[in-house]
Amino acid sequence: MTVLEAKNLSYEYSVGTPFQVTAIKNINLTVEKGEMLAIIGHTGSGKSTLIQHFNALFQPTEGQIFLNGKDINESKESAHAARFKVGLCFQYPEYQLFESTVYKDIAFGPSNMGLSDAEIDARVRRAAAFTGIRDDMLEKSPFDLSGGEKRRVAIAGVMAMEPEVLIMDEPAAGLDPRGRKTILELIKNYRETTGSTVIIVSHSMEDVASVADRIVVLNKGTVALSGSVDEVFSHADELVEMGLNIPQITKIFAELKKSGYDLNTSVYTSEQAKNEILRYLQKGGNA
């Protein structure tokens, strides 16, 4: 079932001035309920412009956005409702923390939704649990936390709105390897537990390969490729041309395959790679 759809979507900045620029052109894409979709593309490819249309922060210059079959820009009310149904977590969201306690920061979103105090409290605690924020941290100032913890508080704030679709722009950027893994695990876990639809925007091909069901590739404001992880990463040369790449491990396998080794190249993590090589060696693989 389609939850979100962009139809012939175009957006131009600074219309009617000499600085008019087309950021996205005629984009058509659908997001299925419950899927984990990754959007990748070079800097300036239109990713951020696109995702800000999904919760009506931007109004299209042309085309429409449908949420559960309804045009979100049909009325003021529908645009307002989209803000809560589609939760958007920006890049480096920890810079947007502002409350005096972690609890209040997470509660800020749900407090604006006309919910009862008991419901707000329940949501704050659920979101804190998803993001691994312990009870004793809730009364602390968010500014006393580490970088990785702040990031998780900011993400919890969006999760607490319990949006149907959660969109995250570069959720792991700037984190160390352990912090990256933690964030990706908690997103996966959130999706599996709640059945919510999740869209992540990322520059890391490794992260995308490890979490996504499907990938949409933007290039210069249009959809250049779209498909399963296997399909998209089988276009290595085109991806490189677009300023992207394939995971390092996948590159090794593509290279070995070219040299005549009969290996499966749909390999993205070192764990998958190890299993594939062991399989190959066991059947007495030779060049």
Partner 1 sequence: MNDNTLISFRDVSYRYESDTDTPLPLALKNINIDIKKGEFVAILGHNGSGKSTIAKLSNAIIMPESGKVYIKGMDTVDEKLEYDIRQTVGVVFQNPDNQIVATIVEEDVAFGPENLGIEPKEIRKRVDDALKSVGMYDYRFHQPHKLSGGQKQRVAIAGIMAMQTECIVLDEPTAMLDPKGREEVMTAMQRLNKELGITVVLITHYMDEAVKADRVIVMDSGEVVLDGTPREVFSQPDIIEHAGLELPESAKLANELRKNGVELPEGILTPEEFIEAFKFCVSGGNEK
Phi (first) and psi of residue 20, to 5 degrees:
-55, 125
The smaller minimum CB distance to partner 1, of residues 118 and 278, is found at 278
The smaller minimum CB distance to partner 1, of residues 174 and 195, is found at 174
- Shortest gap between Cβ of 170 and partner 1 (angstroms)? 8
Contact residues toward partner 1 (CB under 8 A) are: 41-44, 91, 141, 143-144, 146-148, 170, 173-179, 203, 205-206, 240, 243-245, 247-249, 251-252, 255-256, 259, 261, 270-271, 273-274, 277-278, 281, 285-287
- Shortest gap between Cβ of 118 and partner 1 (angstroms)? 32
Other beta carbons less than 10 A from residue 70's beta carbon = 14
Other beta carbons less than 10 A from residue 25's beta carbon = 18
CA distance 63 to 172: 31
Orientation of helix 248-258 relative to helix 270-282, angle to 10° = 30
The smaller minimum CB distance to partner 1, of residues 81 and 252, is found at 252
* Continuous segment of H or E residues that includes residue 95: none
The smaller minimum CB distance to partner 1, of residues 30 and 245, is found at 245
Other beta carbons less than 10 A from residue 205's beta carbon = 24
- Shortest gap between Cβ of 285 and partner 1 (angstroms)? 6
Task: Specify whether the CB–CB gap between 226 and 31 falls below 8 A.
Answer: no
- Shortest gap between Cβ of 48 and partner 1 (angstroms)? 12
